[in-house]
Amino acid sequence: MDLLLSHLDLLMFAAAILLLLSGYPVAFALAGVALLFAGIGILTGHFEAHLLSAFPNRIYGGVMTRQVMLAVPLFVFMGVMLERSNIAAELLETMARLFGRLRGGLGISVILVGALLAASTGIVGATVVTMGLLSLPTMLRHGYSPSLSCGAIAASGTLGQIIPPSIVLVLLGDVISNAYQRSQLDAGNFAPRTISVGDLFAGALLPGLLLVVLYLLWMITVAYLRPQMAPAVKKAEGQAPSLGAILGVLLPPLLLIFAVLGSILGGLADVTEAAGVGALGALFLAASRLGEVTKGGRDWGRIWVLAGAAAFASMIALAMMMDLRLGRSDTSLAEKIGQGVAILLTVPAILGVGVSLWRLFKTQVLQAVSRSTAQISSMVFIILIGATLFSLVFRGLGGDDTVEHLLLSGGGGSVRAVVLVMLVMFLLGFFLDFIEITFVVVPIVGPILLGMGVDPIWLGVMMAINLQTSFLTPPFGFALFYLRGVAPKEVSTGHIYRGALPFVAIQILVMALVALFPGLATALPHMIYG
C-alpha cells in the first residue's frame, strides 16, 4: 500500500490514459482524475490542499488574459469559412486539369492542393473530408491504386498541422513559451527571454515545405516505377486551364496566406492580429463567392465586398509604409495625408464588411461557420482548463520530480531525454488526440528538456511533426477515420492503412533530418527575429 501511495503521480497519469481510451470526454476525464487523486493525496498526506487554490489564478492568467489565445477562434473561423467557400473544389478541379495528363498527375494535384489548404485553413478534419469527397472517386475512376490514393489524401490533409498558420502551432507555441520561461526562472534567470508563436511559425515553415517536396517525390517515384498505380489520365476532363483561370483560382488563397504569414514573419503584426486579418480576409473571400446576383444581372453586393477588401488592403499597405498613429506631435505632412486617406478608406471598408456579413447570413453560411467556430473553440478551451487542473495536481503529487528522474537516469543527457520523450509522444499518438498530448504531456516534460539546454524552437517543431504523425498512424489515426467515413465502399480500411504507412515513414524521415540538422527549424526564426 505504501508503494502505491508513493507513486500516486504515476498512477494518476495511467488512470487518465485509461479513461481517455474509454472514450469519456477529455476535459472531464482529466479534471475528474485530477480531483480524485487530489482527494486521495489529501487524505493520505501526499498532497497539500492549499495548492488547489492556485487553480483559479492559473485559469485567469493562463487562458483569460493571454492575448495569443484569441488567435485560436480567429484561425478556426478563418479555416471553417474557407472550407465553406468551395475553394477546395475549385483548386482540385483546376490542378487536376493542369497535371492530369502526367503520370501521377492527380496525386500531385491532391498534394499541392493539400499544401495550399493547410496554409490557408489549418483544419485537418475538414481538409481530409473535403478532398476525400472530391478527389478520391475521381482518382479511383481513372485507375489509381486505392491505397496510394488514400495515402496521398490523408497525408496531404494533415499538412495543416505543421504548415503555418496552424492551430497545433498556436497551442504548442503557447505551451512551449510557458515551459521555456519556467525553465529559465528555475535556472535563476528572473528576466527570461520569450519564445512567441511567431517563432514557431517561422521554425515550422521549412520542415513543412520539405514534407510537401518529399510527398511529391514519393508520388512521382511510384508513378514512374509502377505506372499502373498512378496512370496518366488518357482523356483529360476538359481542356487544360488558361493562365487566367489558374491565377483566378490560386491568387485569392495565396494572397490570404501572404497577408497572414507575411505580417507575422515581417514583424508587422503578432499572431493574434494576423489571425484577425486572416478571419477578415476569409470573410471577404467567402462573401465574394457565395452571394446572390441581384436584379439586372450585376452583382452589386460582390462589388461592395471587393471594394471593402481593397480598402482594407490599402490601409494595411499604408500602415506598412508609414506611421499612422493619431495624436503624435512629430507627424510629417506625408503621414498626415496618409492618416486622412486611411480615415476615408474606413467608409468602404466598413460597408464591405457589412455587405459580406449580410450575404453570408442570407445563404446560411455565417450561422453554420459561427456555430462550428464556437464548438471547436469551446472544445479546445475546456480541454485546456481540464489539463491545467491535471498538471497542477500532478506537480503537487511530485510528478515533476518523477519525470525528471526518469529522463535523467541512465545517462545520455539531453539526447536520450529528447529521444525518450519523442518516442512516448509517438506511441501516445496512436490513441490520443494532439490537443490532449499538447496540454497534458508537453507542460510536464517541456521545462525539464528546456532546462537541459534544448533549443525551444527546435523542440517545438520536433513535437509538431511528431503530433502530425499521430494523425496518420494506424490503427487510430484521426485522418484515417475521417477518410474512412467518406470513402466509397470498394475502399477497405486495409487500403487506407497501407496507403498511410509510406507517408508516416516520410514524416519520421523529416523528423530525423530536423534532429540531425537543427538549422532546418532554427535558421529562419534566427534570421527573421535575431
Mean pLDDT in runs of 10 for the chain (530 residues)?
A: 71 84 79 90 84 82 72 84 78 77 84 82 70 82 88 88 84 85 74 78 92 94 89 65 76 83 78 87 87 59 88 85 79 86 91 92 90 86 84 83 74 82 83 77 85 89 89 77 81 87 93 94 85
Q: Find out whether 115 and 166 touch, Cβ atoms under 8 Å.
A: no
- Residue 121's pLDDT is what? 66
**DSSP state letters, 301-315:** HHHHHHHHHHHHHHH
In-domain check, residue 432:
no
In-domain check, residue 350:
yes
Single-letter code of the amino acid located at 146 = P
Residue range(s) defining the domain that contains residue 326 = 292-362
CA 182 to chain centre: 25
Q: What is the rounded distance in angstroms from the CA atom of residue 274 to the CA atom of residue 272?
A: 5
- Residue 503's pLDDT is what? 93
Residues 6+ apart with CB under 8 A from 451: 183, 186, 187
In-domain check, residue 379:
no
C-alpha cell at 337: 495625408
Distances (CA, A) of 148 to 105, 329, 501: 13, 64, 10
Exposed, middle or buried: residue 66 (CB in 10 Å: 0-12, 13-18, 19+)? middle
**DSSP state letters, 142-171:** TT--HHHHHHHHHHHHGGGGTSSS-HHHHH
Q: What is the dihedral of CA 227, 228, 234, 235, to 10 degrees?
A: -130
Q: Phi and psi of 322, rounded to 5°?
A: -150, 165
User: pTM of the full predicted structure?
Assistant: 0.82
**DSSP state letters, 451-506:** HTT--HHHHHHHHHHHHHHHTTSTTT-HHHHHHHHHS-TTS-HHHHHHHHHHHHHH
Closest Cα to residue 457, out of 241, 36, 220, 172? 172
In-domain check, residue 192:
no
Count how many domains the chain has.
1
In-domain check, residue 31:
no
In-domain check, residue 39:
no
Closest Cα to residue 223, out of 134, 124, 115, 110? 110
Q: Find out whether 387 and 440 touch, Cβ atoms under 8 Å.
A: yes
In-domain check, residue 151:
no
Q: What is the rounded distance in angstroms from the CA atom of residue 98 to the CA atom of residue 132?
A: 20
In-domain check, residue 320:
yes
Q: Find out whether 154 and 496 touch, Cβ atoms under 8 Å.
A: yes
* Count of other CB atoms within 10 angstroms of residue 104: 27
Q: What is the pLDDT of residues 1-47, one digit of tens each?
A: 666 667 788 888 888 888 877 777 778 888 899 899 999 888 888 88
Q: What is the pLDDT of residues 440-454, one digit of tens each?
A: 888 888 888 888 888
- Residue 139's pLDDT is what? 84
Closest Cα to residue 138, out of 106, 114, 109? 106
